Structure 1
Amino acid sequence: MTDSPPDQPGGPTLLPPHYHLMGIGGIGVSAFARLLAARGVRVSGCDAAPSELTAELEREGIPVSVGHDPAHVAGVDVLIASEAVPKSHPELVAARAAGVEVRPRMALLDELLRAGPSVGVVGTHGKTTTTSMIAVAMAGAGLDPAAFVGGIVPEFGSNARVGAGPFVAEVDESDRGFAALVCETAVFTNAEDDHVGGNQATYWETVEEQHAAFARFVGQAGRVLLCADWPGLGELCAGARERLTYGRADGADYRAVNLRPDAEGTTFTVEYQGQRLGEARVALPGTHNVLNALAALAVTHLYGGDFGQAAAALAEFRGPGRRWQRVGQLNGALVVDDYAHNATKVAAAVQAARQTGRRVRVVFQPHRYLRTQQSWPRLADALMDADEVLLLDIAAASEPPIPGIHATLISDRMTERGHAGVRYLPDRAEVVRRLRETATGGDIIVTMGAGDVWKLSRELAGVRA
């Protein structure tokens, strides 16, 4: 007796494919888990340690195992793993032995981007904020975007949004596989030299190699929307099928003009090819956030969303987690946390803090020995406009120390250049004590870096971490 065909009543039930995600507690992988689950896929995952994100996933019905074990791949159809995971990892070895498909994260993102109308946001800085703004603007304008974001978007309460489309995704250039992705619209914010050098599995050997990957990505897209204010992007987009530009520069297709900054953000006028679209506001300080918002309004316009509704949604946007995140207050001082960790981002965050009109007090944690080795003079220069800088030790992020590379390289250079308010203060308890004793209502305290410096902002503001 043979089984009935699976699509006939009484036939065997076909289970949806089972995806297992390694490192599911990561900000990007957890978003994949949510998007897959929304498509009806069976999803499970594992990570080295439990976290708030893994607890949220379990509450959403996605089982998470603590630790890594070859037994995790039993009954799994697809194993998702970052390219940073060694090919000799026991789970990957067990998966290959069992005939389980091992798929890198970028292959999964490529599948999602190719499934329908899609927007891929790429660049060295501003990807998380710009992707969040695009999704928020589209949703506000009456569209129903799906979104994949490298941060928690307050409007969605998540790093993913389930919607009918278009699909809006942050594309991480630190993963070398990004160059092969194909999307309908590429948003290209900028290109610098981050994630270059060293022995990181996903880093680029040279900046030229990385920039060639940017060029390949935008050349494969249906069209590219590039920032006209960033030097050199035009050359990298020479092979694009269709080019549109945004920025403050003369001749940009989408222009932000008549900027009116204040302590809380910036109001500006948006023009499209010389014609006024309307007024907009971003409730985050800094010129870089004007450009991020302009990109979001441009994309929403390209996909037929209502400009006024999109602008109204962006005016209420307060930023994704760890991107100019207002945490609370200390003695009347505003406490903000920001992910800024390379020189350009640090300079932009300091400029945003200056726009508030308050005394700028920064707690900075350098990130990675290699990055510090490559850029400590630029980091020091980027911090010079802060009134006070309290410098923590370098966050290793699993890198071994490099002889001679220490946070005091930054503080010594700042002192040599005449900054009287910089102090190397590795004792976190002393940082908290000093700020609690001296903070006033005229201050803004910004915890800054890609490591765990964010915990200090919560401690200072009396917010549960």
Structure 2
Amino acid sequence: MTNSSPSPASPSPASSPTAAPHYHLMGIGGIGVSAFARLLSARGVRVSGCDAHASELTAQLEAEGIAVSVGHDAGHVGGVDVLIASEAVPKDHPELVAAREAGVEVRPRMALLNELLRAGPSVGVIGTHGKTTTTSMIAVAMQGAGLDPAAFIGGIVPEFGSNARVGRGPFVAEVDESDRAFGTLKCETAVFTNAEDDHVGGNQATYWETVEEQHAAFAQFVAGARRVLYCADWPGLGALCLGASERLSYGQGEGADYRAVNLRPDAEGTTFSVEHQGKVLGEARVGLPGTHNVLNGLAALAVTHLYGGDFGQAVAALAAFQGPGRRWQRIGELNGALVIDDYAHNATKVAAAVQAARQTGRRVRVVFQPHRYLRTQQSWPRLADALMDADEVLVLDIAAASETPIPGIHATLVSERMSQRGHAGVRYLPDRAEVVRHLRATATGDDIIVTMGAGDVWKLARELAGGGA
């Protein structure tokens, strides 16, 4: 992270006038909570946290001076001023119970994010796809354009070496719709990428009962912002923005305030022209393939333009950007084949990742890990259809993500539907060692291998590439 002073508001006062407040963060090894830890620590707050397991991320936090305990224990709240926990943590969790009994403030994760967003000029990125990439692109473009953004991102951004950036502002934040409190947050500029039906159904704390309920929260968030910049190419998105005080749009279609036109895709990315309300701002490029990344990059350039950043410098920074961790991340090579890892885990994201792979002109070989039993139950036909344009698909078992298995829901639903629809290159292959042997024996320089999913399929990419970046 950079060392300039952060823009977010000061935390709640400590119990002593001279001592820094002590914040304890549950689940500190998570990609979002760890970013909170870094932002708080940079503001002089005493930060500690705990997580069920040690990881590379928790080791990094410890190296940065943030105390991390492995496992959960009621004793962690001793001497703590504020306990941060997500809504997914059960209310009867021993640490939460101990905090309440000790009079420690228990602050939801979204309440902390709201403080950061409301403290000054801020950009909140919402939508069911592309939030991490778009938030990263905005922060990178702003930095390149001579601004000094602070950032809260659900992925590691290579330019920052972190999932957080400390700066004078504006504050750019990824806002996760899986937390039901997100609709109440306030920011200056809402960037709205799309709205689908992810995180809907079931009785989990991070799921919505209906898509209508979730979309109403999107509309509430937009209405609470000073202005919204929404993707005009996504059907129905404009209707969710009617409550906004100021509405701006971006996209390829006629009528968008910011337009990407004259797209020239190649194997490495896409070059395009940017127009603002009919006036040409200049040429731009994203170094990531796929039309969805053109839209993500256009949103980043639009936001940077709105905040007065230098367009040419923003373009240069965006062109050099290679994506955050697990979003079209180049891992290395295998026998000349390009090995990519991507977080795509629902049908729209999977289809976009396959389209990006096709843009490279290589033979597209996908190792797909379905994510969650409920999500698979809801969308396995769409997942199968989204994978049909790949040349080869190796399907792993479902990543449970702590869910209880659902009878009859299995990864073979995806592979069998693809076979029934005439795909000759799909196989259910749960033995990971066999996946590695097969690809090592058959990969050539004409291939692109994409490990795809929100579980731990990323480990296979690193094994295939021999522990690459």
Matched, 1:388 2:392: yes
1:98-109 map, 5 Å: 98-109=102-113
Q: SS in structure 2 opposite 1:125?
A: coil
Aligned equivalent of 2:418, options 393, 411, 414 = 414
Name the aligned partner's letter for residue 274 of structure 2: V
Aligned equivalent of 1:121, options 125, 128, 136 = 125
CA distance in 2, matches of 1:451, 1:13: 45
1:288-303 map, 5 Å: 288-303=292-307
Counterpart in 2 of 1:5? none
Name the aligned partner's letter for residue 58 of structure 1: E
Q: Deviations over 1:349-403 (max 9, x none)?
A: 0000000000000000000000000000000000000000000000000001111
Q: SS in structure 2 opposite 1:348?
A: helix
Q: SS in structure 1 opposite 2:88?
A: coil
Q: SS in structure 1 opposite 2:124?
A: strand
Q: Deviations over 1:130-172 (max 9, x none)?
A: 0000000000000000000000000000000000000000000
Aligned equivalent of 1:436, options 415, 421, 440 = 440
CA distance in 1, matches of 2:312, 2:91: 50
CA distance in 2, matches of 1:174, 1:251: 31
Counterpart in 1 of 2:359? 355
CA distance in 2, matches of 1:202, 1:108: 17
Counterpart in 1 of 2:382? 378
Identity of aligned residues (%): 87
Aligned equivalent of 2:242, options 225, 238, 245 = 238
Name the aligned partner's letter for residue 397 of structure 2: D
Counterpart in 1 of 2:12? none
CA distance in 2, matches of 1:372, 1:452: 16
TM norm structure 2: 0.96
Counterpart in 2 of 1:4? none
Counterpart in 2 of 1:277? 281
Q: SS in structure 2 opposite 1:160?
A: strand
Matched, 1:307 2:311: yes
Name the aligned partner's letter for residue 363 of structure 1: V
Deviation at 1:199, TM superposition (A): 1.6
Name the aligned partner's letter for residue 249 of structure 1: G
Q: SS in structure 2 opposite 1:429?
A: helix
Matched, 1:14 2:27: no
Deviation at 1:200, TM superposition (A): 1.1
Deviation at 1:13, TM superposition (A): 6.4
**Count of residue pairs the alignment pairs up:** 454
CA distance in 1, matches of 2:43, 2:204: 33
- Which structure 2 residue ranges, 5 or more long, are not aligned? 1-15
- Which structure 1 residue ranges, 5 or more long, are not aligned? 1-11
Q: Deviations over 1:212-234 (max 9, x none)?
A: 00000000000000000000001
Counterpart in 1 of 2:328? 324
Rg comparison, structure with higher value: 1
1:204-219 map, 5 Å: 204-219=208-223
Matched, 1:185 2:192: no
Kept in 1, the 8 Å contact 2:332–2:468? The answer is no
CA distance in 1, matches of 2:398, 2:45: 40
Name the aligned partner's letter for residue 31 of structure 1: A
Aligned equivalent of 1:166, options 139, 145, 170 = 170
Q: Which runs of 4+ in 1 moved over 2 A?
A: none
Q: Deviations over 1:390-419 (max 9, x none)?
A: 000000000011111001111111011100
Deviation at 1:16, TM superposition (A): 1.0
1:35-184 map, 5 Å: 35-184=39-188
CA distance in 2, matches of 1:36, 1:250: 43
CA distance in 2, matches of 1:45, 1:314: 34
CA distance in 2, matches of 1:390, 1:310: 39
CA distance in 1, matches of 2:319, 2:21: 41
Q: Deviations over 1:310-339 (max 9, x none)?
A: 000000000000000000000000000000
TM norm structure 1: 0.97
Deviation at 1:14, TM superposition (A): 1.1
Q: Alignment RMSD, CA only?
A: 0.8
Q: Deviations over 1:168-223 (max 9, x none)?
A: 00000000010110000000000000000012112100000000000000000000
Deviation at 1:99, TM superposition (A): 0.4
CA distance in 2, matches of 1:173, 1:56: 27
Aligned equivalent of 1:203, options 203, 207, 212 = 207
CA distance in 1, matches of 2:84, 2:308: 35
